[in-house]
Amino acid sequence: MELSLSELAALVGGQFVTTPSAQSVIRGFAAITDADEGDVTFYADPRYLPALRKSRAAAVLVPLDFDQAVPPVAIRTANPRASFDSLVECYASKPVPYAPGIHPTAVIGEGVELAEAVSIQPYAVIEAGARIGARTVIGAHAFVGRDARVGEDSQLYARVTLGERCIVGNRVIIHPGTVIGSDGFGFEMVNGRHVKIPQIGIVQIDDDVEIGANVTVDRARFGRTWIQEGTKIDNLVQIAHNVVVGKHCVLVAQVGISGSTRLGQYVTLAGQVGVVGHIQIGDQAVVGAQGGVSKTLAPKELYQGSPAVPAREYRVQMAHLRRLELLMERVKRLEQEVDSKSKSSPPPT
């Protein structure tokens, strides 16, 4: 891409805030905080005004009422974010799609069913009885276990492992290195040794789920570990056996959920949150980063801290914790005053 400033303004149907003096050439896209010379960016959130004032971008798309002087050439447009997105859509380099076909190095087991237009990449291993839906991509070095099923239009990136009998729906994206269907972590103590409890259930992942890189989702003790429709899971998340994650949840990186816990719909767990086993988290509940959830949480509430408590309570605790030193001094002063009075007052009669 190479665009002059006037071409850029024309493309977004925008107007210059002030006529540009320099003749910059636009070569890339960037967020305000990342932008370098030659980049176009956009400004939609006043929190970024300080960043925009220091930005090295060549041009910035701004709202119609924007009237600040900033280093980039500013172009007014009704919806800067949408304009920027359509620019990106038109000009940015896009992922190269994987062409349909089965690479000759793929190892395809007996009775495997491959629907039309699947793309099976080099060194993929698909074990006996597995079924892959139409237009789905199985990445290089991916492993699909015996009798596993993947739906249509899904993408398993390089090195994804899908254990035997596990089920993946349609339009599911799974990033590299993720393991679906490892054994649940279950043992019982017999004569001083941990004896393995067989983990014979499966993992079921419903339509439109996206799962990040190097995530682990264990298979159920029996029955299923279940990620429901539309849920999005970030990198390095751990989901234990028999967990149910409801529809349209968001689990940020490094979250861990212990066995048999159930999340409702639209639950958000921020980064590094840990959740104990055998509890429920209500619909639309949100847990702040590094929260430690040790009991069932109500719907629609924001929780923080470890152990996690309602956010208001957490803020009060933290505020008081910060003021503890002052409190200590106040108590000391009270003790001195009370003590001095005892000495000065006549003893009680």
Question: Within 88-107, which residues bind a second copy (CB under 8 A)?
Answer: 88-89, 92-96, 103, 105, 107
- Enumerate the β-bridge partners of residue 233: 211, 251
- Enumerate the β-bridge partners of residue 25: 4
CB of 195 to a second copy, least distance (A): 10
**298 near a second copy (CB under 8 A):** no
**149 near a second copy (CB under 8 A):** no
CB of 196 to a second copy, least distance (A): 7
Backbone φ and ψ of 220, nearest 5°: -70, 155
Question: Residue 25: CA atoms inside 13 Å, Cβ hemisphere, count?
Answer: 3
The helix (H) or strand (E) run that includes residue 314 is helix 311-322
Spatial neighbors of 302 by CB under 8 A, at least 6 apart, are 285, 286, 287, 288, 310, 311
User: Which range, of 3-11, 17-25, 63-71, 309-317, touches a second copy by CB under 8 A?
Assistant: 309-317
Among 150, 236, 245, 269, binds a second copy (CB under 8 A): 236
Spatial neighbors of 247 by CB under 8 A, at least 6 apart, are 206, 228, 229, 230, 231, 265, 266
Closer residue to a second copy in complex, CB, 63/310: 310
CB of 228 to a second copy, least distance (A): 13
Among 3, 8, 35, 297, binds a second copy (CB under 8 A): 35
Among 11, 17, 31, 311, binds a second copy (CB under 8 A): 31
Identify residues 62-91 at the interface with a second copy (CB under 8 A): 88-89
Biggest alpha carbon–alpha carbon distance for the chain: 103
Count residues contacting a second copy (CB under 8 A)? 118
Identify residues 238-297 at the interface with a second copy (CB under 8 A): 238, 240, 242, 244, 248, 250, 252-254, 256, 258, 260, 262, 271-272, 274, 276, 278, 289-290, 292, 294
**Alpha-carbon distances of 114 from 224, 260, 315, rounded to whole Å:** 24, 33, 54
Taking the C-alpha atoms of residue 222 and residue 199, their distance in angstroms, rounded to an integer, is 6
**170 near a second copy (CB under 8 A):** no
**1 near a second copy (CB under 8 A):** no
**30 near a second copy (CB under 8 A):** yes
Residue type, 52: L
Taking the C-alpha atoms of residue 116 and residue 341, their distance in angstroms, rounded to an integer, is 92
Among 10, 78, 298, 328, binds a second copy (CB under 8 A): 328
CB of 49 to a second copy, least distance (A): 14
**125 near a second copy (CB under 8 A):** yes
Taking the C-alpha atoms of residue 115 and residue 287, their distance in angstroms, rounded to an integer, is 41
Buried b (16+ CB within 10 A) or exposed e, 15-25: eebeebeeebe
CB of 22 to a second copy, least distance (A): 21
Closer residue to a second copy in complex, CB, 13/198: 198
**191 near a second copy (CB under 8 A):** no
User: Which range, of 1-9, 11-19, 196-204, 295-303, touches a second copy by CB under 8 A?
Assistant: 196-204
The helix (H) or strand (E) run that includes residue 120 is strand 119-120
CB of 133 to a second copy, least distance (A): 19
Closer residue to a second copy in complex, CB, 17/301: 301
Looking at the annotation, which residues are catalytic? Answer: 241
